Structure 1
Amino acid sequence: MEWFKPYEHDLSEVFAICTAKIAEFPPPLNEIGRRYMQKFDVFQEGSAKNYICYLLPFWMKDMTQLSPDIYRTLSTANIFGMLYFFIQDDIMDTHPSDYTAGMWKHQLALANLLHTEFIHTYLNLFPADSPFWNYFKDYIEEWSEGVIHESLDDYFRDNPLLIAKKAAPVKLGSTAALLLGNRPDLIPAASDLMNNVLLTLQMMDDWADYEQDLTDGSYNCLLSLIKSENNLPRTHLLTTEEAHSAIFLHEILHHYANIASATHQRLLDSCLNTPHVISFHKTLVDELISEASNIKNGRKMLEHGGLQYYLSILSKL
């Protein structure tokens, strides 16, 4: 992973900085915060590796040429922001039947401490009158709109790039680097580039999570595509059988991967010099294509009497 290896040492320092700052939180939030961060620490086995949040500032090096400390500081800010927004997502996604009295007390308290670090880190780089804070406001508004309207408006069916709204704060990593590198002229193009990457990243997440989202009733790009391809209304609640039939028998994932491939072509047409962003996106697209190919090859095995694949399909239908 050439988009990761060159920055491995930098990231080690970034996570050490974050760990040290969280250790200063009042107990028990320092320990709760440490455990929570470990769930996303790229160096922890089994963690959720949200590479783009950690690495986006470093990927701007080819266009900005800032000091190494600046990229590490921006990465630190992004990690605190990531943790803050993930807690918001956890709370919003909690089903009422799973709620118990007081369960959000520690989460909300921790979230506010993380948000303070998030803001404070950026304030050390950008004074209150900096245009950075206008972008900050815009991205938070995009996130809010995405959270509220994603499923109501069915973004993936009508305008897939709007899917990126829910991850808009990630763009602070590129916008901040471009402002510090005196390249504000590149921010609109970088924002468009990132919207395309964030779309594919959400598509990947939704492929991985579609069964859970079926159960929870959460919005999901793949499930939206299945309904669209079958001329089903947006309000239709897909059954597990309908989803599995589309995926394993009718190869909907092939169409899904083609959408990601088309997105990659848009990135290749970009005027920006962002080789690591392009490489990262290609990794995502290749993985989706591989998943679609595995299903297609499995179908061929079924057609030729592949017993094990036949049994695995039956277990899903």
Structure 2
Amino acid sequence: MEKTMDDPIGEYTEELASAFAAAETELRALPGEMGEWAAGLLRKSDPAVNDGRANLISYLLPYWVGEALGVPTGFCRELAIGNVYAMLHFFILDDAIDGDAGWTAAQRRRLLPLGQRLHGLFYRRYLGCFPAESPIWDRLDAYMQMWAEAMAEEAASRADPRDVRRLAGKAAPVKLCAAALLVRAGKPERIAAMDEAVDLALATLQLCDDYADWRDDLAEPDGNAFLTLARELLGSDGSQAPDERSIRRAIYHRGALARLAELAEEHGRRLASLPECPRGLLEFHRSMAEELRAAEGRVRDEVDRLLHGDRLSDLLSSLGGDRRRGGER
């Protein structure tokens, strides 16, 4: 199947199915209930099951970079399976850090050990491809440091929609596969440029996720970059938490979604200027930027529809247009 911008999986559909099947076989071999728990987590992350896009970069980056470097597909598959394990490990860790996953005490006792087992499986896959003395392990240390700093900063300061490195930081370990493939190809000098390319895509992915999750994040808005942008456009000093009406006003009246799409498009221009950027990564990013712009177009169409239908009062009401109200405007 040929890959399109609307279908980032495309030609990799069968390959991803093989990678997930291999991962499921290995996970089901874990002792006791741990195997069933692991297989359940895997199913939730399988794009063939949930049609999700958020994790595709974890699975597909080894193939995108490997394709550009002429690396055999089987080698890329090993890294993709390792990435699946690493991703599930970080999912569990993130839920444990957030503390809002709704785990029971029994689930916590099962999931935290499972997370460590997944981390071990990731190491085993990568060690099968790169020996312990390989420089890629120094890169892993650097990416883990980026991840740790991003997680700590999330609780300490408001998310900045323009800070590419920080937006990408929570997914920094994803970059290991790209660096590893460059090391294998004898091109370690290209790692910095590849890191920049992946960071730009990860930053846009985070912006998309933050827009999708803004209602859920209203209680703790500082960790959501889209809410930061909306509050800036509303002229908020941050002393009062935003509510849904104020953010809708930012979207429909202050152009918050248009500004978000502009940030994504700026990332895309920078990405296209990097010769190290693999074709698949560029197309993946383009699909995200186009989805944001399409969402912004739907907002403009809704505003036009209301205005042309002589429903200005309904529009102002939906935006919280009464300027005498308190709170963020």
TM-score with structure 2 setting the length: 0.89
Structure 1 equivalent of residue 128 of structure 2:
124
Distance in structure 1 (CA, Å) of the matches to 2:54 and 2:199 = 19
| TM-superposed deviation, 1:27 | 1.4
Distance in structure 2 (CA, Å) of the matches to 1:51 and 1:99 = 26
| TM-superposed deviation, 1:153 | 3.3
Distance in structure 2 (CA, Å) of the matches to 1:182 and 1:263 = 28
Alignment of 1:126-275 (within 5 A): 126-156=130-160, 159-217=163-221, 219-234=223-238, 236-275=240-279
3-state SS of paired residue (2:219): helix
| TM-superposed deviation, 1:253 | 0.4
Aligned-residue sequence identity (percent) comes to 27
Structure 1 equivalent of residue 18 of structure 2:
13
Asked if 1:280 is matched to 2:284, the reply is yes
Equivalent residue pairs, number: 315
Q: Deviations 1:244-270 (Å, cap 9, x if unpaired)?
A: 211133221001111111111001111
Structure 1 equivalent of residue 32 of structure 2:
27
Q: Deviations 1:1-50 (Å, cap 9, x if unpaired)?
A: 43422211211110011001101111101111111110011111455651
- In structure 2, the CA distance between the partners of 1:75 and 1:106, relative to structure 1 (3 Å rule), is same
Structure 1 equivalent of residue 114 of structure 2:
110
Structure 2 equivalent of residue 82 of structure 1:
87
Q: Deviations 1:250-308 (Å, cap 9, x if unpaired)?
A: 2210011111111110011112251111111000000000001100111111111276x
Opposite residue 193 of structure 2, the aligned amino acid is A
3-state SS of paired residue (2:45): coil
TM-score with structure 1 setting the length: 0.92
| TM-superposed deviation, 1:311 | 6.4
| TM-superposed deviation, 1:89 | 1.2
Structure 1 equivalent of residue 48 of structure 2:
43
Asked if 1:59 is matched to 2:60, the reply is no
| TM-superposed deviation, 1:315 | 6.7
Q: Deviations 1:150-178 (Å, cap 9, x if unpaired)?
A: 35233415634321111101111211111
3-state SS of paired residue (2:105): coil
3-state SS of paired residue (1:43): helix
- In structure 2, the CA distance between the partners of 1:273 and 1:237, relative to structure 1 (3 Å rule), is closer
Residues 146 and 172, structure 2, Cα contact 8 Å, conserved in 1: yes
- In structure 2, the CA distance between the partners of 1:310 and 1:147, relative to structure 1 (3 Å rule), is farther
Residues 211 and 226, structure 2, Cα contact 8 Å, conserved in 1: yes
Opposite residue 178 of structure 2, the aligned amino acid is S
- In structure 2, the CA distance between the partners of 1:312 and 1:46, relative to structure 1 (3 Å rule), is farther
| TM-superposed deviation, 1:235 | 5.4
- In structure 2, the CA distance between the partners of 1:40 and 1:312, relative to structure 1 (3 Å rule), is farther
- In structure 2, the CA distance between the partners of 1:76 and 1:313, relative to structure 1 (3 Å rule), is farther
Distance in structure 2 (CA, Å) of the matches to 1:188 and 1:95 = 36
Shifted more, 213-222 versus 178-187: the winner is: 213-222
3-state SS of paired residue (1:202): helix
Distance in structure 1 (CA, Å) of the matches to 2:277 and 2:264 = 21
Distance in structure 1 (CA, Å) of the matches to 2:188 and 2:319 = 50
Shifted more, 197-206 versus 270-279: the winner is: 270-279
Distance in structure 1 (CA, Å) of the matches to 2:142 and 2:125 = 19
Residues 66 and 72, structure 2, Cα contact 8 Å, conserved in 1: no
Residues 155 and 223, structure 2, Cα contact 8 Å, conserved in 1: yes
Unaligned 5+ residue runs, structure 2? 321-329
3-state SS of paired residue (2:48): coil
- In structure 2, the CA distance between the partners of 1:298 and 1:151, relative to structure 1 (3 Å rule), is farther
